[in-house]
Every structure is written in structure tokens, then in C-alpha cells.
Amino acid sequence: MTSLPAYPSDRKLGLVIDLDICVGCHACAVNCKEWNTGGHMAPLTDYEAWGDSPSGVWFNRIHSFEAGEGVNGRTVHFPKSCLHCEQPACVTVCPTGASYKRGEDGIVLVDEDLCIGCKLCSWACPYGAREFDEDVGVMKKCTLCIDRIYNDKLEEIDRVPACVATCPVGARHFGDLGDPKSEVSQLVAQRAGYDLMPELGYKPVNKYLPLRTNRAQAGCTGAPAAPLKDPREEGTGSRLLRWLDRALSR
């Protein structure tokens, strides 16, 4: 059913991504590919994997941007995956019922057996979260690692999406953004987490934490940036070295 759930629960599972911490190592994207190519939406097909121009299906892509100029400019690593929107047009445009949003936790999924591969959902997603698998002929997307987060065969600490589990710097957080008391919700409240392209009205569940602003002087050590003095000038260096310099300069 591609209508949105009539009675969605308050649970909104999603990710919080800290742009201030992310170092752009792509480990989250690699571990996502590794887990999901054997997971719920498997395979994540690669084309020409050993050829001249390899490409393929990924659920998570790490963009890098520069914002602003000079000392106020920033280099920002920007991981982007499905935002599991509250108003996902990718779901409502689907003509077959393949695309759906789960009422119980808000995760947006694709039923591969119903997908006709019309690609309209990928056009309806402003964020580029959906990628078509040409080999299988169906659309694929992030499942929020539905096969990890509810998997009681895994240790409890591992019941998080693969991208969160692998992030070496703790820039990715997973939790219930519908619960204002959850750790992720508190993080969003403290750090003024924001939505991407809020003007389109998709109401993404995933939030991005902005760069901390008190880093404007981070590159400054406090030392004056005076040019080095000429060592032959009176009052600098040792008398012996000045004599040596004069002697060798003759």
C-alpha cells in the first residue's frame, strides 16, 4: 500500500549525523555495502567491477563540500543516505505498492517482488536516496539495516545500522527520533540538528548536526605572524655569528 500509514506510531527510527565530527573516511559507506549486499535488499549489484569504469548500487554516499571562503570557510564531509522522511513522496508516487513506509517504526522500504522498475520513486526523492539495480530490474534503497536492528542473533551492542556500527569517530548515531527523551533527540535538541531542504516539506527523520561555530580561531596559536629579522642586524643572534657572516660575505 503506497498510501502513508493512517495511524503511524510515535516511533521514528533514524540517524543523526554529526558533520562536525565526520572525517570523510567512507568507512560507513563501505560497511553499508558489505552488510547490505548480503542483507534484506541483496545484492547491491556492481557493474564492470573489474573494468575501466566500475559503478554500482550503494545506499550511502559520502560527499565533500567546501563552504565559505578563507578563514571562515569550511571543508565538510557529508554522508547521505535515505532520510526515512515522514512525508516520503517516493512512497506515495509508487503505482504498485512496492514502496511503503512502515507504521510501527517509520522505516521506508521497497518490496522487490512488487517493484516494476518504473524509477518514478527515484525521481520523487529530492535527496537521491534510491538507486536502481539494472541487473535485478528493481529499485533499491537503505533499509536502516532492518536485518540488524531487530536481529536477536546479534549481540545487543551490534543491533544498530552497519554505518553506525563502523564509524570510527562516532559521527553517526541511531535511535528513535519520535521519542523526545531518546539520546538522539536530546543530541538534536542540544546541537540544533537540522533537516535537509526543509522547504520541500518531506520532513526527513534523519537529522544533521551542524559544525560547531566556536572553531573560527582554531587555526590560530596566538603567536604573532612577524617576519623573521635579518640575523646581521644589531641585537639579533650572537656576536660570533655576526662576525662569521661578515667574514664569509667578503
Partner 1 sequence: MHPALSVILFTSASGGGYAMLALLGLFGAGGVLSPDPLSGWVAFIWALGMVTFGLLSSTLHLGHPERAWRAFSQWRSSWLSREGVLSVFTFLPAGIYAIGWLVFEDIWRWAGALLSVSAIATICATAMIYASLKPIRAWNNLWTLPGYLAMGLASGALWFTLWAELMPVPHKPAYDFAAVGLVASAAIKLFYWHFLDSGARAATAESATGLGSFGKVRMLTAPHTEENYLLKEMGFRIARKHAQKLRRIALFSGFLLPLAAVLAALLTTHLVDLVLLAVAVVLNAIGTITERWLFFAEAKHTVTLYYGAERA
Restricted to residues 194-223, the positions that interact with partner 1 (CB under 8 A) are 194-202, 208, 210-211
Least Cβ distance, residue 57 to partner 1 (angstroms): 7
Least Cβ distance, residue 64 to partner 1 (angstroms): 4
The full DSSP string for 101-169 is: E-TTT--EEE-TTT-----HHHHH-TT--EEEETTTTEEEE---SHHHHT-TTS-GGG-S-HHHHH-TT
137 near partner 1, rule: CB under 8 A: yes
Question: For partner 1, what does the binding mask look like between residues 151 and 190, x meaning CB under 8 A?
Answer: ----------------------------------------
Is residue 207 a contact partner of residue 16, using CB atoms and an 8 Å limit? yes
Is residue 143 a contact partner of residue 107, using CB atoms and an 8 Å limit? yes
Nearer to partner 1, 126 or 237 (CB): 126
- Residues 45-64 touching partner 1, rule: CB under 8 A, are 53-58, 61-64
Instruction: Select the residue interacting with partner 1 from 127, 159, 182, 242 (CB under 8 A).
Output: 127
Least Cβ distance, residue 62 to partner 1 (angstroms): 5
End-to-end Cα separation, the chain, in angstroms: 93
Sequence-distant (6+) residues with CB within 8 A of 93 are 2, 99, 120, 121, 123, 124
Is residue 143 a contact partner of residue 117, using CB atoms and an 8 Å limit? no
Nearer to partner 1, 15 or 76 (CB): 76
Nearer to partner 1, 190 or 249 (CB): 190
Least Cβ distance, residue 228 to partner 1 (angstroms): 33
- Residues 71-100 touching partner 1, rule: CB under 8 A, are 72-76, 78, 80, 89, 91-98
Q: What is the CA radius of gyration of the chain?
A: 26
User: 18-48 burial, b if ≥16 CB within 10 A, otherwise e?
Assistant: bbeebeeebbbbbbbbebbbebbbeebbbee
Least Cβ distance, residue 84 to partner 1 (angstroms): 17
- Residues 96-125 touching partner 1, rule: CB under 8 A, are 96-98, 114-120, 122-125
Total interface residues for partner 1 by CB under 8 A: 72
